[in-house]
Amino acid sequence: MEPFEAKPLNITTYLSRNEIEEHLANVDYILMAAPSMMAPPELPLHFSIFLNTSNPIPDEIKPQILDKFCSQLGISKTRYVLSDLVRVAFAITPQETPMPRHLLDEAEANTIPWVTMHIIDFLGDAEGFKEAKDGLNGWSYSYN
């Protein structure tokens, strides 16, 4: 049996600003899981939770939101938590749903349509998420 080799997703284009707003109309949040890029003994998974809000969340509420998601998803440990408003673009790939992309690069953000969303980004560990532990990235949408 040949070893598994994960290939990068081919991004064909990005949703326009209007398409993003239509796409997010009934979305509550988006969960993304990927293998951690940090070497062991760091936690093995990288999680990004994109909350469909551009409103600031009070600092005293942020840990409670993270705890709720961790409890629901069976995430047992967390580290390096970022919880803030960020620029998010939506890439069209061969997958069924657009892939959310946190835009860090200012120059890139000037060339790709994006919206502001609240992201909770962290390293973690969980019994589930086998595909991410095996080297794949994935995301799922939760609708309201």
pLDDT for res 8: 62
Cβ–Cβ contacts within 10 Å for residue 54, how many? 11
CA gap 46, 96 in Å, rounded: 21
pLDDT for res 23: 96
E strand residue ranges, the chain:
13-14, 27-35, 45-51, 75-92, 99-102, 115-126, 138-143
How many CA atoms, within 13 angstroms, populate the side-chain half-sphere of residue 56? Answer: 3
The answer to whether residue 1 is domain-embedded is no
The answer to whether residue 24 is domain-embedded is yes
CA gap 53, 113 in Å, rounded: 17
Higher pLDDT, 94 or 1: 94
pLDDT digits (tens, 9 = 90+) for 13-58: 999 999 999 999 999 999 999 999 888 888 999 999 999 999 999 9
The answer to whether residue 30 is domain-embedded is yes
pLDDT for res 1: 42
**Which residues are CB-neighbours of 39 under 8 A, at least 6 positions away?**
none
Residue ranges making up the domain that contains 127: 13-143
The answer to whether residue 7 is domain-embedded is no
Q: Which letter does DSSP use for residue 10 in this model?
A: -
The answer to whether residue 56 is domain-embedded is yes
Q: How confident is the model at residue 6 (pLDDT cuts 50, 70, 90)?
A: low
pLDDT digits (tens, 9 = 90+) for 62-89: 999 999 999 999 999 999 999 999 999 9
pLDDT digits (tens, 9 = 90+) for 87-100: 999 999 988 999 99
The answer to whether residue 4 is domain-embedded is no
Domains in the chain: how many in total? 1
The answer to whether residue 3 is domain-embedded is no
The answer to whether residue 117 is domain-embedded is yes
